[in-house]
């Protein structure tokens, strides 16, 4: 049976990681996979999470299944983080949610929900978007279209073109939006642009599907939720996939949340049964551990304050690395203006160089990032920034 299957090419990002590991160059630089790294290149366990682990170890008395929707304290804490305290949809019992295995699990659960609503649903994604969006959504059997988003020539969002495209989106279609820290470009919508997206959604009747994977890494935990809160306050239906991989550092724990904001409590109850049914058919029961840790952190005032400080420290460090890289490139004599890197937000930036230049820097200098020119800013350090800038100037 299995002999008929063709061998598939390696995943572009995971394949890059494998190539990096095999490179014998002691000065190689990894800017590929999107994980936060400290100055020593480690992905640390946050202090607040380490303390939560000790609390959980002391208080956990069973390894039986948790409830189908997940850890309720986790869900409540995450909804407040995403939507703010006292959000009307929460107060009015209009929000269905399940804990999912990471942001990917949340994206897939919600994609399956859309498929159940309408087998011919079309999801519009930004050009470009995160590499795994299309496989996750497309594998659910949904149609996929793209809307213009980023211009590599000018390193700016093509918002006029984006808005014109969204004005053609049909009622009932779905538009995937990055809540903050756009992956892969790092170019985020302004508050005014979010307002325009809201007005077009109200006019066209499409449903926003917001992916929130980096809350806190752009302008801060509250500011990064601006678009999510604007749309969920002013539209009858919005779906949200959230991840705790980055801002809680829980990459291997796979902690996510699938959220559906509905137009009534009655609809919420129906959707809750549907998303739990979908989850049951995919992975049966949600994992407990990571969600239990986030529950402890978000519902303990002291730990929550400590965690907020840790997220702010990561955000500020990545901003300073952006500024440092741009300064080093200028110092090394770069003829290209890279100042746009300091305007981009979050963990990633598009360097707006060609795939040929990306391959050249990999071959000549053992600097690894994907062909699109997306780099993981958190992979830069005081130890490697000079070598990185020298390598970039060499291939430009």
Residues designated as active site: 130, 211, 246
| C-alpha to C-alpha distances, 180 to 70, 95, 333, nearest whole angstrom | 25, 21, 32
| C-alpha to C-alpha distances, 103 to 21, 63, 130, nearest whole angstrom | 26, 24, 12
SS3 241: strand
Element (H, E) at 356: helix 355-365
Dihedral-angle region of residue 366 (phi above 0 means left; psi in -120 to 50 means alpha; beta otherwise): left
CB 84 within 8 A of CB 229: yes
Nearest to 353 by CA among 162, 379, 340, 146: 340
- The distance in angstroms from the start CA to the end CA of the chain is 49
| C-alpha to C-alpha distances, 316 to 28, 182, 212, 320, 377, nearest whole angstrom | 25, 17, 19, 6, 12
SS3 259: strand
Nearest to 351 by CA among 216, 150, 162: 150
Element (H, E) at 211: strand 207-212
Token pair belonging to 134: 């299309």
Greatest alpha-carbon pair distance for the chain in Å reads 63
Residue 287 CB contacts under 8 Å (≥ 6 apart), including other chains: 99, 101, 253, 254, 255
- Nearest-angstrom CA–CA distance, 166 and 181: 21
């Amino acid at each position: 049976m299995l002999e008929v299957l063709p061998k598939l090419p390696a995943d572009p990002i995971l394949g890059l990681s494998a190539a990096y590991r095999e490179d014998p160059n002691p000065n190689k630089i990894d800017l590929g996979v999107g994980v936060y790294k400290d100055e020593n290149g480690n992905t640390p366990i946050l202090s607040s999470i380490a303390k939560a682990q000790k609390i959980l170890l002391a208080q956990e008395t069973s390894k039986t299944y948790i409830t189908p929707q997940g850890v309720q304290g986790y869900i409540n804490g995450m909804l407040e983080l995403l939507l703010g305290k006292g959000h009307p949809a929460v107060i009015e019992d209009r929000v269905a949610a399940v804990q999912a295995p990471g942001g990917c699990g949340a994206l897939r659960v919600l994609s399956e929900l859309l498929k159940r609503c309408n087998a011919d649903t079309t999801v519009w994604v930004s050009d470009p978007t995160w590499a795994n969006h299309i496989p996750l959504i497309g594998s659910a059997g949904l149609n996929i279209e793209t809307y213009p988003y980023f211009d590599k020539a000018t390193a700016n969002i093509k918002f006029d073109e984006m808005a014109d495209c969204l004005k053609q989106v049909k009622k009932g279609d779905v538009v995937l939006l990055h809540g903050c820290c756009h992956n892969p470009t790092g170019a985020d919508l302004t508050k005014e642009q979010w307002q325009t997206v809201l007005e077009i959604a109200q006019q066209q009747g499409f449903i926003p599907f917001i992916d929130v994977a980096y809350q806190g890494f752009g302008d801060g935990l509250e500011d990064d939720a601006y678009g999510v809160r604007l749309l969920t306050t002013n539209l009858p239906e919005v779906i949200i996939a959230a991840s705790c991989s980055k801002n809680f550092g829980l990459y291997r724990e796979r902690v996510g949340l699938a959220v559906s904001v509905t137009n009534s409590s009655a609809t919420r109850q129906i959707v809750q049964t549907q998303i739990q049914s979908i989850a049951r058919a995919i992975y049966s029961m949600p994992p407990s551990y990571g969600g239990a840790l986030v529950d402890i952190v978000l519902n303990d005032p002291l730990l929550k304050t400590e965690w907020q400080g840790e997220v702010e420290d990561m955000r500020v460090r990545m901003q300073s690395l952006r500024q440092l890289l741009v300064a080093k490139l200028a110092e090394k004599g770069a003829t290209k203006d890279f100042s746009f890197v300091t305007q981009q937000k979050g963990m990633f930036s598009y360097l707006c160089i060609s795939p040929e230049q990306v391959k050249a820097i990999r071959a000549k200098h053992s600097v690894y990032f994907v062909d699109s020119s997306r780099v993981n800013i958190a992979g830069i350090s005081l130890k490697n920034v000079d070598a990185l800038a020298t390598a970039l100037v060499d291939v430009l």
